[in-house]
Structure 1
Amino acid sequence: MSMFRTLSSHLLRQQKCVHPACFYGTQSSSTSTNLKEVLTVKIPEKQQEVIAFRKEYGKTKVGEVTVDMMYGGMRGIRGLVTETSVLDPDEGIRFRGYSIPECQKLLPMAKGGEQPLPEGLFWLLVTGDIPTQQQVDAITKEWNERSPLPNHVITMLNNFPHNLHPMTQFSAAITVLNSESKFAKAYSEGVNKLKYWEYAYEDAMDLIARLPTIAAIIYRNLYRAGTSVGVVDMDKDWSYNFTSMLGYDDPNFTELMRLYLTIHSDHEGGNVSAHTTHLIASALSDPYISFAGGMNGLAGPLHGLANQEVLVWLTQVQQELGDSVSDEKLRDFVWNTLQSGKVVPGYGPVYTCQREFALEKLPNDPMFKLVSQLYKIVPDVLLEQGKAKNPWPNVDAHSGVLLQHYKMTEMNYYTVLFGVSRALGCMASLIWDRALGLPIERPKSFDTPTLKKLAIQASKG
């Protein structure tokens, strides 16, 4: 639990309120449709809150670190403050205190749509408030206006060889976009620290607005013979324009992408892509370079390839056992997989919203039916084998299956979709990093002899 989250719990108890959202905010407290204007009011209040909190509790210890944590990739070490989301092992992800089902219910939707718009989720991540329809429409309009790419980025994308991985292209394009960085320009001109967040905000909005076009050009060049992505429709939302530029016109796929881009947006601050973005930005690197670093982390197979690995594994199960298999035979297969030292990919805390989408839109899809059958079997096997404390399927269990159903079969591209979504959370956090004046990140490290000495002393004490 982060230090900020601990304070949140304390205040909630004082206020006799059981819902975390009561701490973060409720319906948008401002009627302004200008997000930067809203932040101009909120940021000084939050700055004073953090200053007061640190003054009173700055020396308070809020956790312990073990040797295993230090050797085990810092897992379980609570050392970051991330305002945008918290991952609960039982409830799953909460965005500013709101669960995914609550976001689906409360966030504005496209006209005739059934899923929340990512624009609304971004407003929530940045402000802590549920936006109005007018505020979400204003974000859509602003992103559409900011979406044109510089010619040198388009030229570079079109000149990449076809054997260059889509994530490499995605990261490279984001990096060279830093030629447009308003933050870098302002910093070089000696802007006051108190205004850092304003220029980080401008870069963040420009970056998010441009990512769908970058991603679509990569997709068209690699998988659609370089056909044109067309232009952004100024009257349509961010997800609609993205799916249209990709070349998909099924309204159900557009709805899926609205859901996908919303729920993949943020996952606390310690995951590789979010933490890398935060770390690089802590050196006052501009948002483009910082996010490009995060995308290089997302490209790693232990982070961004989860839904691809789930799909590959499901295909192997289907090929080995056939389309129709008994629960007992499937249970034996899962058991043998774990006994052989392998893992069953896709099991973690976020799952239900995509399952509900699939139940409504593709209940008879063979791969979805296999996922549903595994949902009944795998958790008990994992608990029995002691392989997982929280054995429930996560968002990756369905993502690839849903994309395949709508004929997006190019698995190497899935991480790019993930990256477009992850920008929402990374940029929301980066704006607040600069607003709160967080310093360069520089944790202390030990070598093994020193750590042994400290551990022996601690064990005797």
Structure 2
Amino acid sequence: MSEFSNWTHLAEKAAEIDNDLFAKYDVKRGLRNADHTGVLVGLSNIGSVSGVKKVDGVNVPAEGKLTYRGIDIKDLAEGYLTEKRVGYEETVYLLLFGKLPTRDELERFSEYMKEQRKLPEYFTKDIILSFRGKDIMNMLARSVLALYTTDDNADDTSTENVLRQSISLIAKFPEIIAHAFHGMRYHYMNKSLVIRHPHPKLSHAENFLYLLKGANRYTPLEVEILDLALVLHAEHEGGNNSSFTVHVVSSSQTDTYSAIAAAIGSLKGPLHGGANSEVMAMMDNIKRNVKDWSNEKEIEEYLAKILRKEAYDRSGKIYGMGHAVYTLSDPRAVVLKKKAREVAIEKDRLHEFNLYDAIERLAPKVFHEIKGEKVIAPNVDFYSGFVYCMLDIPVAVYTPMFAMARIAGWCAHRLEELISAKRIIRPAYKTLAEEVSYIPLSERG
């Protein structure tokens, strides 16, 4: 055994805890209760997520509901879509300030966001392109930390300053992500380097498509569905891993850049932010192995193979189906699916959309037959990857786009933690190690 292999063995042994002890000491692993609901660790006025209802003290599956500042996400989306306008800027305003803006307030706020888009001079060359990387999430986190050095009041945690930093970062994320992607293509894929300046006349969503793809390379419907995706991903209650990370880190009174970089690190994890790319890989496998996409029996049989660990990655998971909170439905998936169908028609990919629709209908039935009573439904990731694919957005950009949307919620939670909580988050861990005597080095075997 090599020395490092021995170290690895020692490290694993030192880190191992008997699984039965978690139950013995009633440890809330993952801050989850026995019924899989989250342990109550805070209060919030920002977002609300629900997927069950209490009946005689028992959790019963219910249609999913997501609200931003008390407003149902379905109503929020329908409101601005009916008026034929974008909604992300309005959503940011709502999350940060707790109310819907008037027309004048929205116009002034949108203009201010546009003014904050531009990165500092030489930042793209010195930070994004020179220190190249193969993962855009890491490049995004590094860029956020680098912006700390350009801020004369970086450590000021007053509400006014944190709000200024928050809006600035929200506005800058599209340019950082687009430039990081183009730098990665240039350095690692031998593609031409194309760097565009932010467009002062475009909305947040359209500006990102312009930075990523260039002018006249996207349609109004593409802007509409990308904006919708950003709205649907902007917030998801304080208990999701990355937003809770913001609460934990912010409770130490650290700076905004450190808190947001920590959230990016959380979102990068495949159990949090990478689900839609997992869905896309699974769907590619299904498309290759199901010969007739209109044959529901054939689809059912292949889904059964996946659940029995006989097909795809042998994990036994149908990616994009099921959620930690939602049961009967994920409201984000319901809203996104409707618009996704319109894009599929525009892109002549309705046959693929119909395959997704069939899997959505058939997977819960097959899951019930093989794995039991748990109720599952498609989550937002089931359709978001397909949407991004139809927009010709590379997979490497999927999770960074999640960050580009969710930073609005992160910043709202940071403000709430700094203003209202005012106590460093410090949960307890029970130590299992028994006390032992120190052994002098000369006496160790």
Give me the TM-score of the superposition, normalised by structure 2.
0.78
The reply to whether residue 344 of structure 1 matches residue 315 of structure 2 is no
Bigger mean CA offset, 86-95 vs 206-215: 86-95
Give me the TM-score of the superposition, normalised by structure 1.
0.75
The reply to whether residue 441 of structure 1 matches residue 425 of structure 2 is yes
Q: What percentage of residue pairs aligned between the two structures are identical?
A: 22
> CA offsets, 1:368-415, max 9 Å, x none?
22111111101222334446744110110111111111222x212211
CA distance in 2 between partners of 1:130 and 1:160 (Å) = 40
Identify the match of residue 94 of structure 2 among 117, 124, 129.
124
Identify the match of residue 376 of structure 2 among 379, 385, 391.
391
For 1:52-63, what aligned pairs fall within 5 Å after superposition? none
Q: How far has the Cα of 1:446 moved from its partner?
A: 1.5
The reply to whether residue 355 of structure 1 matches residue 337 of structure 2 is yes
Partner of 1:106: 79
Q: How far has the Cα of 1:83 moved from its partner?
A: 2.3
Q: How far has the Cα of 1:296 moved from its partner?
A: 0.8
Partner of 1:97: 70
The Cα RMSD (Å) is 2.4
Identify the match of residue 397 of structure 2 among 400, 413, 416.
413
Partner of 1:142: 112
**Amino acid aligned to 2:123:** V
Bigger mean CA offset, 278-287 vs 76-85: 76-85
CA distance in 1 between partners of 2:94 and 2:88 (Å) = 10
Tell whether the 8 Å contact from 2:293 to 2:299 is kept in structure 1 after alignment.
Answer: no
CA distance in 2 between partners of 1:390 and 1:88 (Å) = 14
> CA offsets, 1:93-138, max 9 Å, x none?
22122222101123488x844xx41111112212332222322222
Aligned residues between the structures = 372
Partner of 1:16: none
Structure 1 unaligned spans of 5+: 1-64, 188-195, 451-461
For 1:154-169, what aligned pairs fall within 5 Å after superposition? 154=124, 155-161=126-132, 164-169=134-139
Identify the match of residue 408 of structure 2 among 414, 424, 427.
424
Higher fraction of helix: 1
For 1:319-334, what aligned pairs fall within 5 Å after superposition? 319-322=288-291, 324-334=293-303
> CA offsets, 1:216-250, max 9 Å, x none?
111222346320222332x3221121211112432
The reply to whether residue 231 of structure 1 matches residue 213 of structure 2 is no
Identify the match of residue 240 of structure 1 among 206, 210, 228.
206
Tell whether the 8 Å contact from 2:199 to 2:207 is kept in structure 1 after alignment.
Answer: yes
CA distance in 2 between partners of 1:368 and 1:139 (Å) = 37
Structure 2 unaligned spans of 5+: 1-21, 33-37, 52-62, 186-190, 310-314, 324-329, 435-445
1:362 partner SS: helix
2:67 partner SS: strand
CA distance in 2 between partners of 1:124 and 1:414 (Å) = 24
Mark the CA change 1:135 to 1:284 in structure 2 (over 3 Å): closer, same or farther: same
2:429 partner SS: coil
CA distance in 1 between partners of 2:161 and 2:296 (Å) = 56
Partner of 1:373: 358
For 1:219-298, what aligned pairs fall within 5 Å after superposition? 219-223=181-185, 225-233=192-200, 235-247=201-213, 248-298=217-267
Q: How far has the Cα of 1:437 moved from its partner?
A: 4.7
Q: How far has the Cα of 1:421 moved from its partner?
A: 0.5
